[in-house]
Amino acid sequence: MSALSNIIIKELRELLTPASILPIIIIALIFGSIGSSMEGIREGFDEQPVLGYIDEDNNYLSTIVTTYLNNNSKVIFNSTDIADKSYGLDQVKQKQGVALIIIKQNFSRDILNDNRGEIDVYWIMRGAGLFDAVSSEVVEGTISSLNKEISKILIQNNTTINASIALWPTSRIDTTYFKDREIGLSPGAITSMLASQSTFMPIVIMMLIIFAGQMIISSMALEKENKTLETLLTLPVKRTSIVTGKIAASAFIGLLFAVIYMFGMRNYFQGFQMSEALNLADYGLILTSQDFVLVGISLFIALISALALCMFLGTFAKNYKSAQTLVFPVTMLAMIPMFITMFADFDTLPLALKGLLFAIPFSHPMMATRALIFNDYLLVISGIIYVSIFAIVTISIVVWVFKTDRLLTGSTRRKKIWMFKKKRI
């Protein structure tokens, strides 16, 4: 064997360890599953939209509209009487429809008199994630096609109406029902406005958890590598103080990094949202000072639980290098809720995914802002309670580990005694 191949084989053996391969495989699987989800969204675009309509006009051009809707969508309710509006809305809600379209009186006459024909669209919005916007986007596409259909008829008939009316003959008023709120916007506009929360916050929280987590795991690893841990453990200081001190310092630096990071990210996202002139506050979609306190508590508790978890993992670290691998599980636990909350709304998730999202402590601050905008205090407060319990239990486990031999020897004698006792029973 040549010297070169000898070195290459040695390097490969050192670099290709389970610890280095596993993260790559898991990341590939996660991105693969995201890709599959995207394919699901694309298939959603091919499906016919489920909707209802009321043709108040019931005239020449409105019939073109209703015929188009009947042919190109799954109509679950139709009427010509505006008095049926409430019933129609209930039907759309019950049958998982997306919208109730009302073609207003004089729709045909207005268009033929050089005015845009009015359409009211009552949207039923179930979630504010990007996945949830698919069905409303399909209806948007249908409405756009409707306009083209009417335009075609008007142009074919050589009418003398204004060209701009002929090219876009309808005007629309949107009303969206979402989480017990009535908002004068389309779901697309609402989703777009909330996108800042659903992308910005999860990314910042993920980065915060990874920064702070890496710090505390590295701190533990360095204590071991630099052989300072043994001295620390023989000093007259309670194990709880050592654990709390490390967590508090890492939390402080983590928050500091997050603030710096947040400024950069905010500018980054604002750069993309220049064209969005809509403001959440104009539609009452704002956080009160009480809501901000809840978001802060949720974030703080999640950070503490992340640090406690990292500190527990840090007890397994043999040196600084192994600490880098140990950050990986926490990174995954931060990335999974980040992706889920970016693309979907908690309320519209399947039960198993809801359970998973709730169980991951870092999900809660990621979901808190959007939940509080829509007054979902139950989710946020129950999340804070759950994460607090998680943090307390994890810290208790870490303190217990500090009282055993695990830190120095990698094993806990108490565990063996417990197992031994159990066998005797």
Partner 1 sequence: MAAVEVKNLVKKYGAFEAVKGISFDVNQGEIFGLIGPNAAGKTTVLRVISTLLTINSGSVNIMDLELSKKPDEIRKFISYLPEDAGAYKNLTGRRYLMFIANFFETKNTREIVQKGIEIADLDERIDDKVDTYSKGMKRRLLVGRALMINPKLAILDEPTSGLDVINAQEIRKIIKNTARQGTTVLLSSHNMLEVEYLCDQIALISEGKIIEEGKPKALMEKYHANNIEEVFTKVVQ
Q: Give whichever of 393 and 408 is closer to partner 1, judged by the CB atom.
A: 408
Piece of the chain touching partner 1 by CB under 8 A; list 67-75, 155-163, 357-365, 406-414: 406-414
User: Of 244 and 331, which has the nearer Cβ to partner 1?
Assistant: 244
Q: Sign of dihedral through CA atoms 234, 235, 240, 244?
A: negative
x-or-dash string of contact with partner 1, 365-404, rule CB under 8 A: ---------------------------------------x
Total binding residues for partner 1 by CB under 8 A? 18
Of the pair 270, 411, the CB lying nearest partner 1 is at 411
Residue 378 C-beta-side C-alpha neighbours within 13 Å:
2
- CB of 17: closest distance to partner 1 in angstroms? 23
409 is a site residue for partner 1 (CB under 8 A): yes
State the distance between the two ends of the chain, measured CA to CA, in whole angstroms. 58
Determine, following the binding rule CB under 8 A, whether residue 413 of this chain makes contact with partner 1. yes
336 or 398: CB nearest partner 1: 398
Shortest separation between residue 208's beta carbon and partner 1, angstroms: 24
Distance of closest approach, residue 227 Cβ to partner 1, in angstroms? 4
Sheet holding 50-55, edge to edge: 74-79, 50-55, 99-103, 117-124, 170-178, 181-183
- Residue 50 near residue 139, CB atoms below 8 Å: no
Q: How far is the CB of 408 from partner 1 (least distance, A)?
A: 6
Q: How far is the CB of 21 from partner 1 (least distance, A)?
A: 28
Given candidates 11, 81, 276, 405, which one binds partner 1 under the rule CB under 8 A?
Answer: 405
Cβ contacts of 261 within 8 Å, gap of 6 or more: 204, 207, 208, 211
Residues 206-265 binding partner 1 (CB under 8 A) are 226-228, 230-231, 233-238
- Per-residue buried b or exposed e for 275-290, using 16+ beta carbons within 10 Å of the residue's own CB: eeeeeeeebebebeee
User: Per CB under 8 A, does 319 bind partner 1?
Assistant: no
**H helix runs in 360-405, sequence order:** 363-373, 377-403
Query: By CB under 8 A, is residue 81 in contact with partner 1?
Result: no
Task: Work out the widest C-alpha separation in the chain, in whole angstroms.
Answer: 97
Where are any strands of DSSP class E within 245-380? Answer: none
Nearest to 53, CA basis, from 84, 24, 15, 27? 84
Q: Is 408 an interacting residue with respect to partner 1 (CB under 8 A)?
A: yes
Which residues make up the interface to partner 1 (CB under 8 A)? 226-228, 230-231, 233-238, 404-405, 408-409, 411, 413-414
